[in-house]
Amino acid sequence: MWVGFWCISTLIMVLSPLIREDIERADILPSLLSISVIWVPPLSCLAAFWFPQAEQKRAKSIKPSRDKVYAAFGITAIYLLFVLGLIVYSTFVIQSNTAAADPGDMTLLAQINQASKLALIISPVALAPINWLTGGTRN
């Protein structure tokens, strides 16, 4: 799910100049870097868990209940949809890159930075299932 949403958000940013003429291509790479701070920590956590052989052996011995699996997927999906909504809203709904003398927070990069900050503030809720699934807590 995390990799899929990272790919979707990247695709949204890359294609945004084709959909909105006021978005400059020069803003895309900085926006992608800003969005990546949302996706890299949980993916790093999952990679650190799945690649070591000892962790794979321990993971095979643990069978989470169906309720916990559904809860983990549900919390993660809600968070990922929220973040995707923030990115879409910041990219396509808010009028950015205006011709004002001092655009301030009305640039695409500023809007994406604000969306990323909000997503990071809420991220501990979304990272709880990863913490549980990767053995951060033994219960």
Could you read off the pLDDT of 41-62 as tens digits, one per residue?
A: 888 877 777 677 776 676 667 6
* Residue 12 belongs to a domain: yes
- Spatial CB neighbours of 132, under 8 Å, sequence gap ≥ 6: 68, 72
The total number of residues written for the chain in this structure: 139
**How crowded is the C-beta side of 38, counted as CA atoms within 13 Å?**
33
Sign (positive or negative) of CA dihedral 124, 7, 49, 77? positive
Is there a domain that residue 33 lies in? yes
Its domain, for residue 11, covers 2-133
Which pLDDT score, from 0 to 100, does residue 4 have?
92
Number of structural domains found in the chain = 1
Q: What pLDDT shows up at residue 46?
A: 76
The low-confidence residues of the chain, meaning pLDDT below 70, are 50, 55-56, 58-60, 62, 96-105, 130-139
- For residue 138, being part of any structural domain is answered with no
Does the residue 74 lie in any domain? Answer: yes
What is the pLDDT at residue 7?
A: 93
Q: Given the structure tokens 């033994």, which residue do they identify?
A: 138
Task: Assess if residue 139 is contained within a domain.
Answer: no
pLDDT of amino acid 86: 92
Q: Convert the pLDDT of each residue in 84-94 to its tens digit.
A: 999 999 888 87
What is the pLDDT, as a whole number, of residue 84? 94
pLDDT attached to residue 139 = 46
Phi, psi of 73 (to 5 degrees): -65, -40
